[in-house]
Amino acid sequence: MSDVRHVLVLPDRESAEEAAEVLGERFRTDEEPHIVRDALAGEDDAEDAQWLVVVEDAGERLDPRELDAFAAEWDGWREEP
């Protein structure tokens, strides 16, 4: 087993903050998910950004399909590693 990092891409900061809080509770993650702003190439406007929720998955115990469905609840998706 190895450590995996899952990245959920969400449309706005509010969604990312809410998802990060719920993700930790629902999936009982060992570490708190991190929120990262990802500006789209060439864009300076905060509206033109994606928000990432990054969760470390020691031992690969999180199901990628469940994370896909979870991200979709906030109109987002999970990036494939």
- Tens digit of each residue's pLDDT, the chain (81 residues): 567 899 999 999 999 999 999 998 999 888 899 999 987 655 555 556 889 999 998 888 899 999 999 999 999 999 987
How many structural domains is the chain composed of? 1
Parallel, antiparallel or unpaired: strands 34-39 and 77-79: unpaired
pTM assigned to the model: 0.85
Q: Give the model's pLDDT for residue 41.
A: 57
Q: Where are the alpha helices (DSSP H) in the chain?
A: 13-27, 64-72
Query: Domain of 25?
Result: 4-79
What is the Cα 75 distance to its own chain's centre? 12
